[in-house]
């Protein structure tokens, strides 16, 4: 069942519930546990009673308030027929969902398959809207740090970091500026068209319904960049009338305004959303090496979204969506700034052809302008001089087409996509305040892929076999005004990436999983042709780079603890050949010159543990831990790097969150995040110390529509070593925030 179809049913059911007057009785809490016909827990189901809605956790359970034994509880979940049941007199209620007819069982998710948590061979963590609102932080990457194994290129949050350092990785694979993890939303890639990094504040906060993090190679369905996994930002879609308004302020001269308005007129639904964010920031450079030239890194950003959607019968709709990000940043000194403007647009539709199957079409594009200035800082950091101006316009066009159909215990998925990117890097040297001639490097990339998946689900088994063929090419590269004119090679590769996943469901809520895969990531235009600088660390381009290739497998299990929670564990092993890394060429006490190179080979192996426990009805505890032994295992150009830790990857990282909610008191949350030591360079010369950080959140409701909240990030004001470039930079200090929400 599509989002549109499900929401039509939801509105009808909630209307019925609102008029189902129970026998006169005191309101009470009921724990509703949802299962499928095989007895497996169903996570992510919507449970509605009396107009209120909650979502089941990983154990398939959620607590809802009812007003009597005759109160009606309704349960909805994609791929299942809606169910209603009287609450009864017990404090516990079991609801069994039955699979919907073949015309509505396929739901496209981050895995492009209709699998629930206990039927997926991948390790999946879903972060619902309530966590996206409550976990302290200003941007999406702040919240995602609570997911075991999620890491940024450096430890600095994106609200003060240069966009070109906002790459992310999963499974201990590290990253350069480009991500080894694909980030997308509604089938549209969000990785930067030119550089592969992530603009974490691109989507307005109230326009995100939930985020799914799938760890493990996924190039079999998604192509380039999905070596470590896929992060899917599930958007809010317009459905009837709704609104939201949030305003908050925080230390470091920070303010945020979020808004959303949705409505339906004559069968056409519309949605408008925006986020306005500004912060004075803080000085990243550590106090012991700081000089007069250091100023706070800050950002002023605005993001907006407008969407129109028209339903065409059950489970079918067409839509048109536009998104804008505009931001300006200071990079820590008076002369170093950057700015980004991204127009992203998408259109398409979903059509349920009953016996013909389900069809999906997405047409999307983006236009981006990026500019940045660079400087050289004198010893003692007392003065700086402008050295270079840079402008990088880029454009991207893409299309996705997919068909899926269920035949009894079999589900078939087939699709194709194409992504075409064009970019230009305009470099203008500055000498003694004079602008020299601009050197322009332009190029084009195209990734075309065809994929298919066959899913077999007989009784207690789930077997998925998928594969994809990609043709990845970088071409039409040329440089203007350079002396001498370089010869820029063309790159063309054809890649085959298969994947096999198996799940066996045992008795007692236990599922065993195993998968094996191949994956790849093509070098970005930024890595091939653009020279970058962060602080006093300059990284040279390399037009001879080739794609990264990965092979991996993982095995694990999931245990659903009835009405208490769930525990999941997995062992992973991934080997990446030709990983792109920044290798040091020249190092001085105040500066460093690097070049991007195919490093040879790195191997990451380790364990991920996750648990979600509800010890009492009003407290939920979530915990995650990752051990990742990620090292360089081959590099013929410099054998001394063999055995070194992969840059930016700690061996140990963990997170814990405890959330308490009582109707009279409100919500209180405690969030712990800790990470072991890691290194900021391939040679392991620049060590970043381990750290542990605690955040707090509290919220109280005044009526049904008004909520007031407060949070503290980094309660103990812990010193977090974020990077060495080669100067030491630090993560955010203690941040106190508070605000109001109207919904």
Q: What is the pLDDT of residues 495-545, one digit of tens each?
A: 999 999 999 989 888 999 999 999 999 999 988 988 776 666 778 888 889
Contact 736, 742 (CB under 8 A): no
Tokens of 9: 């049913």
**Predicted pLDDT at 280:** 96
CA angle 419, 425, 430 (to 5 degrees): 165
Q: What is the pLDDT of residues 89-104, one digit of tens each?
A: 778 888 888 654 332 2
Instruction: Tell me phi and psi for residue 172, to 5 degrees.
Output: 70, 25
- Tell me where in the chain the CATH 2.60.40.1120 domain(s) lie: 1-100
CATH code for the part of the protein at 220-291+322-429+463-742: 2.40.170.20
Mean pLDDT estimate for the chain: 87
d(CA 305, CA 207): 8
505: left (phi over 0), alpha (psi -120 to 50) or beta: beta
pLDDT for 361 beyond 60: yes
d(CA 505, CA 40): 8
- The residue with greater pLDDT, 592 or 375, is 375
Coil, helix or strand at residue 357:
coil
**Predicted pLDDT at 101:** 37
**Predicted pLDDT at 39:** 64
pLDDT for 550 beyond 50: yes
Q: What is the pLDDT of residues 239-269, one digit of tens each?
A: 888 899 999 999 999 999 999 999 999 889 9
Q: Print the SS3 string covering 639-663.
A: HHHCCCECCCCCCEEEEEEEEEEEC
Coil, helix or strand at residue 483:
coil
Q: What is the pLDDT of residues 306-355, one digit of tens each?
A: 999 999 877 789 999 999 999 999 999 999 999 999 999 999 999 987 78
Q: Which of 262, 127, 152 is nearest to 208 (CA)?
A: 127
Tokens of 307: 């969407």
Contact 624, 568 (CB under 8 A): no
pLDDT for 726 beyond 50: yes
Average pLDDT over residues 402-422: 93
- Tell me where in the chain the CATH 2.40.170.20 domain(s) lie: 220-291+322-429+463-742
Contact 406, 1 (CB under 8 A): no
Q: Which of 418, 422, 427, 421 is nearest to 448 (CA)?
A: 418
**Predicted pLDDT at 78:** 62
Q: What is the pLDDT of residues 376-394, one digit of tens each?
A: 999 889 999 999 999 999 9
Average pLDDT over residues 351-369: 91
Contact 227, 519 (CB under 8 A): yes
Q: Which of 229, 54, 214, 148 is nearest to 611 (CA)?
A: 148
pLDDT for 76 beyond 90: no
Q: What is the largest CA-CA distance in the chain?
A: 88
**Predicted pLDDT at 534:** 65
Task: Please confirm whether the linkage preceding 29 is cis (ω < 30° from 0).
Answer: no
Average pLDDT over residues 626-646: 92
**Predicted pLDDT at 709:** 97
Q: Which of 166, 372, 380, 371 is nearest to 294 (CA)?
A: 380
**Predicted pLDDT at 704:** 83
**Predicted pLDDT at 486:** 78
**Predicted pLDDT at 57:** 80
CA angle 327, 328, 331 (to 5 degrees): 130
pLDDT for 8 beyond 60: no
Question: What letters, b where the CB count within 10 A reaches 16 and e where it falls short, cover 57-78?
Answer: bbbbbbbbebbbeebbbbbbbb
**Predicted pLDDT at 79:** 59
- The residue with greater pLDDT, 63 or 606, is 606
DSSP 702-728: ETTTEEEEEEEESTT----EEEESSSE
pTM: 0.85
Average pLDDT over residues 416-425: 96
Topology of domain 1-100, per CATH? Immunoglobulin-like (2.60.40)
Average pLDDT over residues 439-452: 95
d(CA 664, CA 40): 34
Q: Print the SS3 string covering 587-615.
A: ECCCCEEEEEEECCEEEEEEEEEEEEEEE
Of the candidate ranges 175-184, 399-408, 726-735, the one whose mean pLDDT is the lowest: 175-184
Average pLDDT over residues 603-607: 97
Q: What is the pLDDT of residues 121-164, one digit of tens each?
A: 778 888 998 999 999 999 999 999 999 889 888 888 999 988 88
pLDDT for 15 beyond 50: no
Percent of the chain with pLDDT over 70: 90
- The residue with greater pLDDT, 603 or 54, is 603
Question: Which residues lie closer than 8 Å to 434 by C-beta, 6 or more apart?
Answer: none
């Amino acid at each position: 069942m599509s989002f549109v179809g499900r929401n039509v049913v939801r509105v009808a059911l909630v209307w019925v519930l609102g008029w189902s007057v129970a026998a006169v009785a005191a309101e009470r809490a009921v724990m509703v546990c949802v299962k499928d016909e095989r007895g497996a827990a169903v996570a992510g189901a919507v449970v509605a009673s009396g107009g209120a809605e909650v979502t089941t956790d990983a154990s398939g359970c959620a607590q809802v308030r009812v007003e009597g034994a005759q109160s009606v509880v309704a349960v909805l979940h994609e791929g299942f027929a809606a169910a209603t049941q009287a609450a009864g007199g017990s404090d516990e209620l079991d609801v069994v969902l039955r699979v919907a007819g073949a015309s509505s069982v396929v739901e496209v998710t981050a895995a492009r398959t209709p699998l629930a948590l206990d039927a997926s061979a991948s390790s999946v963590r879903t972060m619902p809207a309530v966590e996206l609102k409550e976990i302290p932080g200003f941007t999406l990457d702040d919240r995602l740090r609570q997911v075991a194994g999620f890491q940024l290129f450096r430890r600095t949050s994106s609200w003060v970091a240069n966009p070109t350092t906002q790459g992310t990785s999963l499974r201990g694979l590290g990253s350069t500026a480009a991500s080894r993890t694909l980030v997308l939303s509604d089938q549209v890639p969000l990785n930067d068209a030119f550089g592969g990094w992530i603009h974490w504040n691109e989507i307005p906060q109230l326009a995100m319904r939930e985020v799914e993090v799938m760890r493990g190679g996924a190039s079999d369905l998604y192509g380039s960049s999905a070596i470590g996994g896929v992060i899917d930002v599930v958007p809010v879609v317009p459905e009837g009338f709704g609104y939201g308004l949030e305003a908050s302020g925080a230390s470091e001269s920070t303010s945020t305004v979020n808004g959303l308005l949705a409505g339906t007129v004559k069968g056409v639904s519309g949605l408008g959303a925006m986020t306005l964010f500004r912060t004075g920031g803080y000085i990243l450079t550590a106090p012991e090496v700081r000089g007069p030239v250091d100023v706070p890194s800050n950002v002023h950003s605005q993001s907006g979204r407008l969407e129109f959607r028209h339903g065409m019968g059950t489970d079918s709709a067409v839509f048109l969506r536009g998104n804008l990000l505009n931001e300006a940043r200071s990079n820590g000194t008076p002369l170093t700034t950057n700015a980004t403007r991204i127009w992203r647009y998408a259109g398409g539709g979903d059509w349920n052809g009953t016996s013909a199957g389900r069809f999906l079409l997405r047409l999307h594009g983006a236009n981006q302008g990026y500019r940045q200035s660079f400087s050289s800082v004198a010893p003692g950091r007392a003065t700086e001089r402008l050295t270079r101006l840079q402008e990088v316009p880029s454009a991207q066009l893409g299309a996705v087409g997919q068909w899926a159909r269920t035949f009894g215990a079999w589900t078939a998925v087939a699709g194709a996509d194409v992504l075409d990117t064009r970019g230009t890097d305009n470099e203008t040297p500055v000498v003694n305040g004079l602008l020299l001639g601009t050197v322009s490097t332009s190029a084009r990339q195209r990734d075309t892929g065809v994929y298919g998946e066959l899913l077999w689900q007989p009784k207690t088994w789930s077997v998925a076999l998928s594969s994809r063929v990609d043709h990845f090419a970088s071409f039409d590269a040329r440089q203007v005004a350079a002396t001498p004119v370089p010869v820029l090679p063309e790159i063309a590769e054809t890649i085959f990436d298969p994947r096999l996943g198996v799940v066996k469901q045992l008795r007692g809520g236990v599922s065993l999983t195993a998968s094996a895969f191949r994956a790849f990531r093509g070098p970005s235009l930024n890595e091939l042709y653009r020279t970058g600088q962060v602080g006093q660390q300059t990284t040279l381009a390399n037009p001879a780079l080739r794609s990264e290739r990965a092979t991996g497998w993982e095995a694990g299990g999931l245990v659903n603890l009835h009405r208490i929670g769930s525990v999941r564990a997995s062992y992973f092993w991934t080997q990446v050949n030709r990983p792109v890394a920044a290798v040091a060429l020249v190092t001085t006490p105040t500066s460093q010159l690097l070049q991007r190179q195919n490093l040879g080979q790195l191997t990451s192996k380790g364990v991920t543990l996750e648990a979600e426990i509800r010890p009492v009805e009003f407290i939920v505890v979530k915990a995650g831990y990752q051990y990742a032994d990620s090292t360089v295992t081959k590099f013929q150009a410099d054998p001394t790097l063999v055995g070194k830790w992969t840059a930016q990857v700690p061996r140990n990282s963990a997170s814990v969150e405890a959330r308490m909610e009582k109707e009279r008191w409100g919500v209180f949350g405690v969030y712990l995040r800790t990470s072991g030591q890691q290194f900021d360079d391939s040679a392991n010369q620049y060590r970043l110390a381990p750290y542990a950080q605690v955040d707090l959140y509290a919220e109280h409701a005044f009526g049904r529509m008004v909520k007031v909240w407060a949070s503290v990030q980094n309660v103990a004001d812990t010193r977090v070593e974020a990077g060495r470039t080669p100067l030491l930079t630090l993560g955010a200090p203690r941040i106190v925030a508070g605000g109001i929400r109207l919904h």
